[in-house]
């Protein structure tokens, strides 16, 4: 149960980081967004994408360690 919870939190965090960074959109959409996006918007997205990514990293590492120790 602990592995599922920690991996879930980490996975959701990484998914949110991907959404904030624009990793799941096509190239055409990326170019369109860049043409109308302000520097403040870009800074906000990059900052919070990095913060959410780093937030999820310890959860995924912990889940991996627990999985290797206990095995499922």
- Structural domain harbouring 8: 2-70
CA dihedral 4, 5, 11, 15 (to 10 degrees): 130
State the average pLDDT over residues 45-58: 94
State the pTM of this model. Answer: 0.80
- Provide the pLDDT for residue 72: 62
Percent of the chain at pLDDT exceeding 70:
99
Q: What is the pLDDT of residue 5?
A: 95
What is the tally of structural domains in the chain? 1
- Tens of pLDDT, residue by residue over 16-41, are 999 988 888 888 888 888 888 888 98
């Amino acid at each position: 149960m602990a592995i599922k919870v920690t991996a879930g939190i980490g996975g959701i965090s990484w998914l949110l980081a991907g959404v904030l960074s624009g990793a799941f959109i096509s190239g055409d959409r990326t170019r369109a967004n860049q043409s109308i996006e302000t520097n403040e918007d870009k800074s906000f997205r990059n900052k919070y994408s990095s913060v959410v990514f780093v937030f999820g990293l310890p959860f995924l590492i912990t889940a991996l360690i627990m999985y290797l120790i206990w095995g499922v």
